[in-house]
Every structure is written in structure tokens, then in C-alpha cells.
Amino acid sequence: MAALTTSGPARELITRYERHLNTRRGLSPATVRNYVADLAPFAEYAELQGIALDNDVSAIRSFLSRGGQEHVHQEYRSLVRDYVSWLLEGRRLHSGRRAGQRGHERNSVIRSLAAIRLFVRFLIADGLLPDAPLWAPGSTLMRRFTPRAARRLPDVLSAQEAGRLVEAPLRRQPTQDTREGAGASGGRLRDQALLELLYGAGLRVSEAAGLDTDHLDFPGRQIRVWGKGSKARMVPLGRSAHNALRSYAEKGRRNLVPKDGNASTGGTEALFLNRRGGRLSPRSIHQIVRRYAMQAGLRDDVHPHTLRHTFATHLLDGGADLRVVQELLGHSTPTATQVYTHVSQTEARRVYMSAHPLARPKP
């Protein structure tokens, strides 16, 4: 089945849903796209059951009401239970590192269920589907259907590896012409400022891409960041990140602005620019990080979130309070931040085993 888009049979419904997410929920454009994309497996499953998603969801409504209104709750339960089983065991994956295999990983199923809950609540509020206790916020039944998340330790770099990465743009490669133009020089200053900011401030890739020039506060050595749910936070800048950003802003950025005008997006000036003077995209940031990671001799799976993980872990290793790290990362609850304490404990164990005389085996 094709991906769920605004050009399919439910295009009017999906357009209204996107508008709802943008205006009523205050979500970022990237989050809205993800929520819509995560509906695609459900639309595929519904079509297999002969209840294709359409603009008025009449097929789904008829399916739920086939045993009478008193059985709607049971039909919802069966639909969600069978859908989760299909995701875990039956659906063939079309993309990603497990393409061609069957069955989603648990975290993918959890994300898909979150998207379905939000979508169904929208349909219920719009009067298109009947309500049921399953969809109530905090439903214990929905928790029973939701797989337990797999606990994975974040992938982090050592301090030495992170240092090599952020300094990589300043090392001219043998193939580079020493008479390179201003645009190339501006690009290197931009890349170093970007890497320093990702590691030195722990930004999400979407947050870095969305920065504007007026978000910088050089005298205060801080930057205003717009995170998930359009929540703003002020993030302090360390000396290294502050100096790199100032060099880029004062020397490098103007070399990336077209001579015939400003790099402008929606009336605001983007901070990180591409070679055409437009806003640097999240995809381009991923490519920049990967390119310099390989140039620095690191593994080829380093991505922007690796630097965010590394930022948080190194702060905790240095004695920072968990609540402070939570605030700097823009997490709404400490739960998402606590995973980094496990990484720090792992590092503490490694240091203890290598340093304490009673921890080493006797020769």
C-alpha cells in the first residue's frame, strides 16, 4: 500500500487532522509529519480487513457497529489487539535496516499506537467514531495492549572522540585547494559551529535547523531554542561553542548569503545556511555529522542524536544534577533523562574496575 498522504482516498480527512495537530496541539511540522506517517501501517491493516480508511471513516464506523452499539467497545479491543499482533509478527517492513523482514520492534509498535490513539481521539471529538473507555487518557486497557519498551543504552562518544569530531572542519584535507573560495570557508565555519552546538548544547537536529539569528544572545552567552510542543528554553553556551558561533556569525555566514539578498524564511533569518543561502535542512545536518565523523576516524553510524546523548552523559559524568540535565535537554519529565544515569553508572563501573586496587584480579 502507498504511504498515507493528503493525495489518497482520505485526503480531506488527513488535511483536517494535520490542521488540528498544527493549530490545536501546537506540534512542530516534523512531529506532525511523523504522526501522519505513523498512521500508514494502520491504514494498511484496515485495508487488509476490508475497512479501508476514507474521508468519513464510514467503513470503520460500520465495522465497529456491526454487532450493535453495546458491542462497540469489544470491537475496538479486538481491532487494537489484532493490529498489535500484526505489527509485532505479520507486517513486512518496507524500509529501514530490517527491510524485508516481518514484525516491528516494540518501540516502533509503541509509537504507532500513540499515533492511533491521537488520531482516534480526533475522530471521536469530530463525531466520526463512537467513544469507548479504551481511548480515555491513561486507559489501563490500552496499557495492557502496549508492549513494554525495550531499554537501550544511548550510544555515546568518548570525550576524545567528541573533541576530534568538533575540530574536524578546521582540518583541511589533502585534496582541498588552499585557495578555496569564501563560500567554502564559510561552510567550514558553519560546520564547526554546528558541531560545537550539537555537542556543547545537546540540541535536537530539528532545533538546530530551526534556529534564527535573533535566537543568539552573545553577551549573555546563551541561545533560545524552540523544542517539542513549541516550548522555548534558554541554553547556555560554553566557551568553545560561543567562540565557534561568533566566528561563523561574523565571518562565515555572510559568505553563504546570496549577493542579491538575505537568506530569509518566513520573515526571519535562518542561522545555519546552505550553499544557496537557504535554511540548512535536518537531512543536511545528518550528512554533515556523518561526513565529519568519518573524517575524524570515527564509526559511520554517528548521527546528530549521538552528540545529544554524549552531551547529557558527559554532563552527568562531570557531576551535573539530573534535573539540570533534564532542563537543558528540554525534557518535560525526568523519565526520559534517567536513561543517561545508566550510562554514567556503566562508566563509573569501568573506571572503578580499572582504577581500584581491590577491583583488579590478583596476578
What pLDDT shows up at residue 120? Answer: 93
- pLDDT tens, 326-336? 888 888 777 77
Is the sign of the CA dihedral 85, 90, 94, 96 positive or negative?
positive
Residue 180's SS3 state is: coil
| CATH superfamily to which 159-354 belongs | Intergrase catalytic core (1.10.443.10)
Cell numbers 504511504 correspond to: 3
216's enclosing H/E stretch is strand 216-217
Q: Which of 194 and 25 is assigned the larger pLDDT?
A: 194
Cell numbers 525495550 correspond to: 150
| pLDDT of 127 higher than 80 | yes
Mean pLDDT score, 134-154:
80
- The dihedral over CA atoms of 202, 208, 213, 215, expressed in degrees to the nearest 10, equals -50
What rounded mean pLDDT belongs to the chain?
A: 81
| pLDDT of 124 higher than 90 | yes
Q: pLDDT class for 138, splitting at 50, 70, 90?
A: confident
- pLDDT tens, 163-192? 999 999 987 654 444 444 445 667 889 999
Q: Residue 337 in contact with residue 325, Cβ under 8 Å? A: yes
DSSP string, 268-285: EEBSSB-TTSSBPPHHHH
Q: Name the grid cell of 241.
A: 561553542
The CA distance from 310 to 240, in Å, is 16
Q: Which of 149 and 29 is assigned the larger pLDDT?
A: 29
The CA distance from 305 to 166, in Å, is 14
What pLDDT shows up at residue 323? Answer: 84
The CA distance from 64 to 21, in Å, is 25
What proportion of the chain, given as a percentage, has pLDDT over 90?
27
- pLDDT tens, 274-291? 888 889 999 999 999 999
Q: Residue 245 in contact with residue 219, Cβ under 8 Å? A: no
Burial of 211 (0-12, 13-18, 19+ CB in 10 A): buried
Every domain of the chain and the residues it spans: 11-145, 159-354
Q: Which of 347 and 48 is assigned the larger pLDDT?
A: 48
- pLDDT tens, 239-277? 999 999 999 988 878 777 665 555 444 445 889 998 888
Mean pLDDT score, 105-113:
87
Q: Which of 271 and 323 is assigned the larger pLDDT?
A: 271
What pLDDT shows up at residue 211? Answer: 92
- DSSP count for the chain of H helices, then E strands: 15, 5
> E strands along 115-213, which residues?
none
Tell me how far CA of residue 20 lies from CA of 25, 26, 121, in angstroms: 7, 9, 12
Enumerate the active-site residues: 204, 228, 305, 308, 331, 340
What pLDDT shows up at residue 179? Answer: 40
Residue 236's SS3 state is: strand
How large is the C-alpha radius of gyration of the chain? 24
Give the amino acid at 241: A
What pLDDT shows up at residue 355? Answer: 62
